[in-house]
Structure 1
Amino acid sequence: MAPTRLEEEKAEVVHADTLKTPDSDSTNNAEQGFQDEHAQSAAEKKLVRKISYTFLPLVTWIVMVQFADKSSLAISAVLGIYQDTGITGSQFSWLGSLFFLGYLIMQIPNQVLIQKFSIRRYLGVCIVVFGAVMLFTALAQTFAQLAALRFLLGFFEATCLPCLYIIVPHLYRREEQTFYFGIVTMCQGVGSVLGNLVAVGISQMGGERLGLEMWRWNHIIFGAITVLLGILCFFFLLDNPRSWMLRLTEEERHIVDKRTEDNAVIRSRKINYKHFLEALKEPRLYCIGLAAICINMQNGGLLVFSAQLIRTLGDFTPTESILLKIPGGVASTIFILGAAIVARRIRQIAYTGMVMCVISLSGVVVLAAVPHGSVKLLGYYLSWAMGGAGALYAAMVGTNVSGYSKKIFYNSVLVICSTLGSFIGPLVMLDHEAPRYTTGMVVYCVGNTVAFFCFLAARILMARENKRRIANPPEKKLDVTEGWTDQEDRSFIYKL
């Protein structure tokens, strides 16, 4: 049913209210009130539940298993890969980095392919392929074979998070997205726990089974699970709020139209290169990219060396080293989910991210300063607060960038820079500095500090633009179906 003139006037008054105060809590509250006006209806709450029940279970498993695949090398370090293949410590570091090199190279074609193909089918095929790579890794005998397979694993896994990062803003309202970006990122921590629990079971096999070493069974198990998930993704991943899987009623279709208008995400198969140029001119893009490098140097280094690092803290068996990794995954999950909930409650993405950087920095300082003992293990767990900061950078992009090509470009830059950081991270963990890895710890301390100030700078830039838009509101709100960017649509207010 078309809105009446009175309803249109009310909407205009409410919209004007959202633009009346400079960067302040009242601005955030007014904006939130406008966007939540329809979200308070029982029908929309039911729709959001339907979307979440359809989307989240499969996505949870995809992210969990994808992360377990990626971190399989760290577990293999204490399950016999050194002895079985004859690789050295420096070669192991290169295996950690080559994954991220493949991840990095794929981002350029991935940016085009995401826009050209159905996301669920494209992602489903890629998941099947990197599941097959995991299975073939179980057959590797030399460093060269492992290096090639790690590169291919990173190349095809590189499609996963960018696809999910573009789906979330398509399904959820802007004020909902911080929480759901947190859920997606949190699943990586849960994946760490899952991978370690499976590895504990494998470590109890006692040597080899059917002529295969323990580390090979780890790849076989997760490779088979990954292929199955790829097939399910191809047919059943929810990638569109109007999907047949939701069985929308007429009322729900109308609600979806309203939510799409709020999200400012209109899918287009045509690549708009002007969006790329606009993004490249924005200083916040470089803040987000630099922060992503800094965050993921630490995440990449500590992920690859986690089992070895823990083993040096005491006289632990391989099984005990794996078990002690589990609280790290739990800590990452708690920090990510906590950051998402707090940021949504107080409506402050950047400030919450800055707190996560401080907590992570304190953990790395402990790792650098304390030579050994349980306090050092506490520092290791605290360092995973950086996962919460990473989730909020993804949310910052999801909620504050509009225009489909521009959003894909921002997500690609975020993933490229994250991958570059993850590539560098293991390389600064110098073998001759074990077990303290002084150079790595110093680099990670600097990274936490830089990420802190990048949050602050991005917030200041967006707050200043909000003030300009509030002071000079547009006479007419642009039609979101035209695919305007956040720069072109002057009624677009950034979430800080």
Structure 2
Amino acid sequence: MSTEIKEKIEVEHSECHDHFNDTIEDNSPKATVIKSDAEKIFVKKLNWTLLPFIWSIIFIQFADKSSLSLAAVLGMLQDTHTSQSQYSFLGSVFYIGYIVWQIPNNYFIQRLPIRRYLGVLLVLWGISVGCTALCQNFTQLVICRVLLGLFEAGTYPCLYIVLNSLYRRQEQSACFGFLWMSNGSGTIFAVLISYGIAHLDGAHGIAAWRWNYMIYGILTVVIGIATFFFMVDSPQSKYLRLTEAEKKIVEARTQDNAVVMDRAVKVSHYWEAVKEPRYYLVLLAAFCNNLSNSGLVVFSTPFVATLGFTSLNSILLQIPSAAISVLFVLLAVVINRKSKNMSLPTIVCGGIAMIGCILLACLPHTSIKLLGYYLAWGFNGSYVMLLTIVSNNVSGYSKKIWYNASVMVAYTVGAFVGPLVMLDYEFPVYRTGMIIFVIGNLLVVLSVCTMLYLMKRTNKKRAQNTHGEKTDAHLDLTDKQDKNFFYKL
């Protein structure tokens, strides 16, 4: 880079660096940004512009994914001549498409405008959902489930990088908390809608489970079109209508979160990631967390139905589990914000999830098991902390995208395996699956605590050699290359 260009960059960003440095108390891992009134107003505008899209996308994704569980108690298995073991496979085969798409997804996120790319994916998966209503046999269901997984695969990586680029590091536990609470709150709306749809059984000669897929398919396409045209996907989005003062605020926030969207794919960032021990700890935690996630989601309604509840009531009983999952996420975020510590909320939520799975394995198979079932959703809180750790502590645009994609691959493999450990011959207790979920939650806690220890050790070494300097985020250095980068713990 020539001297002239360097001087130009310094002039353009000097004022923003001054603002950034003035709003930070120190350069420690627990440094707190003191936001101005103008920035607080900007954040409110950002929230109201972006978060409704986030909620809608997560709501419809969870609704579409969990439709299989609802359809299972509304006659789908009988209408398509699908056995219980084949139903288990339907729960897992969705994730084949999910895994297959992660590598091309990694490329497209970096090369295409995110809102347009994500909008197209939403439309395509909406069509896949609608086509499921036409299925007459197991093979057709498998094809639709694979396609659904393929087109849904890009959702979370797209949303992760948007949140990474728009919010400060100290805000991101709340951001990912909102993302995961959207899962729970969206489920409540989805269950109420599905409960109403269940009463359409036989209307115009169409079974209720087919109505469910048709209605959600249409709704997904509508959300996809809105996303394509109107979602905020970058700090400079025209839909934020930035004033000159807000442009300076956005630049200061970019320096804080160290995420600058770069269309150039840097393979060296990928290689750096795969050489890091914490990378494999992240993968292990994501895999183990989603064992119980997918197992409980796929078998949720049929499992509750075996406790002595009718099909319609077993649908309604998903509302408390959704509400409790929201509370666990909220609990994790509150503990994190109060303690400025990520290991404590992970231990609390992971421990509660373990207790829930132990109860599911040991209690008599009666309605008392609902207690264990609801506690088991504590894994949502520990997963939010895992996402926050990755978001806060990985810099370099290509490296961050690689980490996000890798988390999704591990998430997907865990979600694929989860339903398979719910052994058919153990129906409806699934004791082996519950024991595996206990071990999985324990490994999540151990993995998170270990990676936080490794990053704390690096922070101590860097504290001895730096003097509070800040590195320009536009250089797109990784957290390993930038010796002024301190990990958030």
Q: TM-score range by the shorter chain?
A: over 0.9
Shift, 1:181, TM fit: 0.9
Are residue 76 (structure 1) and residue 71 (structure 2) matched?
A: yes
What is the CA distance between 1:474 and its match in structure 2? Answer: 6.0
Question: Could you list the runs of 5+ residues in structure 1 that have no partner in the other structure?
Answer: 20-26
Superposed displacement of residue 260, structure 1: 0.5
Following superposition, the deviation at residue 455 of structure 1 comes to: 1.1
Cα distance, 1:390 vs structure 2: 1.2
Q: CA deviation at 1:8?
A: 5.5
Who is 1:299 aligned against?
Answer: 293
Question: 1:11 deviation in Å?
Answer: 4.0
Structure 2 residue matching 1:279: 3-state secondary structure: helix
Ranges of 4+ aligned residues in structure 1 off by more than 6 Å? 1-5, 12-15
Pair 1:261 & 2:255 matched? yes
CA contact (8 A) 2:157 2:408 kept: yes
Query: Of residues 442, 446, 449 in structure 2, which corresponds to 1:456?
Result: 449
CA distance in 2, matches of 1:266, 1:143: 46
1:289-330 CA-partner distances (Å, limit 9, x unpaired): 10111110100011000111111112x111011011111111
Point out where structure 2 has 5 or more consecutive residues left out of the alignment.
Answer: 1-10
Aligned to 2:310: 317
Q: Secondary structure at the match of 2:101?
A: helix
Query: What is residue 220 of structure 1 aligned with on the other side?
Result: 214
Superposition TM-score, scaled by structure 1 size:
0.93
Give matches, 1:228-243, under 5 Å: 228-243=222-237
Question: Kindly tell me: are residues 303 and 14 of structure 1, through their superposed partners in 2, closer, same or farther at Cα, counting changes over 3 Å?
Answer: closer
Q: Which residue does 1:481 correspond to in 2?
A: 474
Aligned: 1:189 with 2:177:
no
Deviation of the 1:12 alpha carbon: 8.7
| CA positional deviation for 1:353 | 1.2
Letter paired with 2:339: I
Question: Deviation at 1:432?
Answer: 1.0
- Tell me the equivalent position of 2:277: 283
Q: Please tell me whether the aligned partners of residues 51 and 241 of structure 1 are also in contact (alpha carbons under 8 angstroms).
A: no
Residues of 1 paired with 2:162 and 2:479: CA distance?
18
Shift in Å, 1:373: 2.6
Q: Which amino acid aligns with 2:41?
A: K
Once the two structures are TM-superposed, the CA of residue 108 in structure 1 deviates from its matched residue by 0.9
Partner of 1:353: 346
C-alpha distance in 1 between matches for 2:154 and 2:237: 21
RMSD across aligned C-alpha pairs, in angstroms?
A: 1.9
Residue in structure 2 matched with residue 334 of structure 1 by the alignment: 327
Match of 2:59 among 59, 64, 88: 64
Q: Report SS of the residue matched to 2:452.
A: helix
* Deviations 1:144-170, CA, capped at 9 Å, x for gaps: 000010000011001111100000011
Q: Which residue of 1 aligns with 2:85?
A: 90
TM-score normalised by L of structure 2: 0.94
Counting only pairs closer than 5 Å after superposition, residues 243-254 of structure 1 correspond to structure 2 as 243-254=237-248
**Structure 1 residue 394: deviation in Å?**
1.0
Partner of residue 405, structure 2 = 412
Q: 1:110 to 1:296 in 2, by over 3 A?
A: same
Deviation per CA, 1:423-477: give whole Å up to 9, x if none. Answer: 0000011111011101111111110111110111011011111111112216853
SS at match of 1:377: helix
Deviation of 1:18 after TM superposition, in Å, equals 2.7
Aligned twin of 1:492: 485
Aligned residues: 478
The 1:103/1:9 distance shift into structure 2, 3 A limit, reads closer
Q: What amino acid maps onto 1:258 in structure 2?
A: A
Instruction: Provide the rounded CA distance (Å) in 2 between the counterparts of 1:240 and 1:267.
Output: 8
Q: Match for 1:173 among 154, 168, 175?
A: 168
1:43-69 per-position Cα deviation (integer Å, ceiling 9, x unaligned): 000110110010001111111111110
CA contact 2:335–2:344 (8 Å) conserved in 1: no
Q: d(CA) in 1 for partners of 2:177 and 2:389?
A: 11
- Matches of 1:338 and 1:70, distance apart in 2: 25
The residue aligned with 2:4 is none
How far apart are 1:3 and its partner, in Å? 9.3
Contact 2:468/2:484 (<8 A) preserved: no
More off after superposition, 345-354 vs 303-312: 345-354
Indicate yes or no: 2:13 matched with 1:18.
Answer: no
Q: Which residue of 2 aligns with 1:425?
A: 418
2-side partners of 1:339 and 1:13: how far apart?
26
Kindly indicate whether the alpha-carbon contact (under 8 Å) linking 1:474 and 1:490 is maintained by their aligned counterparts in 2: no
Instruction: State the alpha-carbon separation in 2 of the partners of residues 172 and 476 from structure 1.
Output: 21
Alpha carbons 1:469, 1:490 under 8 Å: kept? yes
The residue that corresponds to 1:365 in the other structure is: 358
Among 430, 438, 442, the residue aligned to 2:435: 442
- The percent of aligned pairs where both chains have the same amino acid is 45
Q: Secondary structure at the match of 1:71?
A: helix
Residues 8 and 270 of structure 1: CA distance in aligned 2, closer, same or farther (over 3 Å)? closer
